[in-house]
Structure 1
Amino acid sequence: MKTLADPQHALADGLDAIRAEFQVPDGFPPAVLAAAAEAAKRQPTDHVDRTNRAFVTLDPATSTDLDQAFAIEAAGADLLLHYAIADVAWFVDDDGVIDREAWTRGETLYLPDRKAGLYPPILAEGAASLLPDGPRPAIVFTVRIDPSGAVALDGVERALIRSRAKLAYATAIDADLPAGFADLATRIQRDERRRGASRVDPPEQEVERVDGALALRFRPRLVAEDRNAALSLATNMAVGQALLAHHTGLFRVMAAPDDAAKLRLRNTAKAFALAWPDAQPLADFTRTLDAAQPRAAAFMLAVRRAGHGASYAPWHDGETPWHAAVAATYAQATAPLRRLADRYVIRAAVAVANGQPVPAVVTAAFDRLPKVIARADATAGRIDRAVIDLAEAIMLRSRVGDSFAAVVTDTDDRGARIQLSDYPIIARVDTTAMPGDALIVRLAAIDMQRRTIEFKRVH
Structure 2
Amino acid sequence: MKTLIDSTNALIDGLAAIRLQFSVADQFPAEILAAAEAAAGRLPTEHADRTDRRFVTLDPATSTDLDQAFAIERSGGDLLLHYAIADVAWFVDDGDAVDQEAWRRGTTIYLPDGKAGLYPPILTEGAASLLPAVSRPAVIFTTRVDADGNVHLDGAERAVIRSTAKLAYDSVDAADLPPDFDELSRRIDAAESRRGAARVDPPEQEVSALGDGRYQLTFRPRLRSEEQNAALSLASNLAIADALLAARTGLFRVMPEPDEKAVQRLRHTAQALGLTWPEMEPLAQFEKTLNLSDSRHAAFTLAVRRASGGASYVPYREGVVPWHAPMAASYVHATAPLRRLADRYVVRAALAVANGQPVPPAVSSAFERLPQVMARADARDGQIDRAVIDLAEALMLKGSEGTLFKAVVTDADEHGLRIQLCDLPVVARVRGQGGTPGDRIQVKLIAADPLRHTITFERAG
TM-score range, shorter chain: over 0.9
Question: What are the superposed Cα offsets for residues 386-437 of structure 1, whole Å, 9 maximum, x if unpaired?
Answer: 1111111111111101111111111111111100111111001134221111
**Aligned residues with identical type, % of pairs:** 63
Question: What are the superposed Cα offsets for residues 60-84 of structure 1, whole Å, 9 maximum, x if unpaired?
Answer: 0000000000001111111110000
Counterparts of 1:133 and 1:190, CA distance in 2: 34
**Residue in structure 2 matched with residue 312 of structure 1 by the alignment:** 313
Q: What RMSD over aligned residues (CA atoms) do the two structures have, in Å?
A: 1.0
**Residue in structure 2 matched with residue 149 of structure 1 by the alignment:** 149
Cα contact 2:3–2:385 (8 A) shared by 1: no
User: TM-score normalized by structure 2?
Assistant: 0.98
**Residue in structure 1 matched with residue 402 of structure 2 by the alignment:** 401
Counterparts of 2:182 and 2:437, CA distance in 1: 42
Cα contact 1:18–1:386 (8 A) shared by 2: yes
Question: What are the superposed Cα offsets for residues 314-359 of structure 1, whole Å, 9 maximum, x if unpaired?
Answer: 0011111000111100011000000000000000000000000000
Counterparts of 2:399 and 2:121, CA distance in 1: 40
**Residue in structure 2 matched with residue 289 of structure 1 by the alignment:** 290
- The 5-angstrom pairing of residues 352-363 of structure 1 reads 352-363=353-364
Cα contact 1:185–1:227 (8 A) shared by 2: yes
Question: What are the superposed Cα offsets for residues 207-258 of structure 1, whole Å, 9 maximum, x if unpaired?
Answer: 1112442111111100000000000111000000000000000000011111
- The 5-angstrom pairing of residues 217-228 of structure 1 reads 217-228=218-229
**Residue in structure 1 matched with residue 351 of structure 2 by the alignment:** 350
Cα contact 1:205–1:218 (8 A) shared by 2: yes
**Residue in structure 1 matched with residue 442 of structure 2 by the alignment:** 440
**Residue in structure 1 matched with residue 204 of structure 2 by the alignment:** 204
Counterparts of 1:450 and 1:203, CA distance in 2: 25
Cα contact 2:392–2:450 (8 A) shared by 1: no
Question: What are the superposed Cα offsets for residues 49-68 of structure 1, whole Å, 9 maximum, x if unpaired?
Answer: 11111100000000000000
Counterparts of 2:147 and 2:424, CA distance in 1: 41
Q: Report the CA distance between 1:371 and its aligned residue.
A: 0.3
**Residue in structure 1 matched with residue 129 of structure 2 by the alignment:** 129
Question: What are the superposed Cα offsets for residues 88-143 of structure 1, whole Å, 9 maximum, x if unpaired?
Answer: 00000110000000000000011110110000000000000000031110000000
Question: What are the superposed Cα offsets for residues 296-324 of structure 1, whole Å, 9 maximum, x if unpaired?
Answer: 00001111111110000000111110001
> Which range moved further: 317-326 or 441-450?
441-450
**Residue in structure 2 matched with residue 377 of structure 1 by the alignment:** 378
Counterparts of 1:253 and 1:82, CA distance in 2: 25
SS in 2 for 1:273: coil
Cα contact 2:51–2:135 (8 A) shared by 1: yes
**Residue in structure 2 matched with residue 453 of structure 1 by the alignment:** 455
Q: Report the CA distance between 1:200 and its aligned residue.
A: 1.3
- The 5-angstrom pairing of residues 399-438 of structure 1 reads 399-429=400-430, 430-438=432-440
Matched, 1:174 2:174: yes
**Residue in structure 2 matched with residue 254 of structure 1 by the alignment:** 255
Runs of 5+ in structure 1 lacking a partner? none
Counterparts of 2:426 and 2:240, CA distance in 1: 37
**Residue in structure 2 matched with residue 68 of structure 1 by the alignment:** 68
**Residue in structure 2 matched with residue 54 of structure 1 by the alignment:** 54
Question: What are the superposed Cα offsets for residues 140-195 of structure 1, whole Å, 9 maximum, x if unpaired?
Answer: 00001111111110000001101010000000011111111111111111111111
Cα contact 1:145–1:151 (8 A) shared by 2: yes
Cα contact 2:8–2:207 (8 A) shared by 1: no
Q: Report the CA distance between 1:281 and its aligned residue.
A: 1.5
Cα contact 2:133–2:165 (8 A) shared by 1: no
Q: Report the CA distance between 1:3 and its aligned residue.
A: 5.4
SS in 1 for 2:5: coil
1:365 is matched by which residue type in structure 2?
Answer: A
**Residue in structure 1 matched with residue 367 of structure 2 by the alignment:** 366
2:143 is matched by which residue type in structure 1?
Answer: V
**Residue in structure 1 matched with residue 270 of structure 2 by the alignment:** 269
User: TM-score normalized by structure 1?
Assistant: 0.98
Counterparts of 2:31 and 2:227, CA distance in 1: 40
Runs of 5+ in structure 2 lacking a partner? none
2:240 is matched by which residue type in structure 1?
Answer: V
Counterparts of 1:15 and 1:307, CA distance in 2: 26
Q: Report the CA distance between 1:204 and its aligned residue.
A: 1.0
SS in 1 for 2:164: strand
1:421 is matched by which residue type in structure 2?
Answer: C
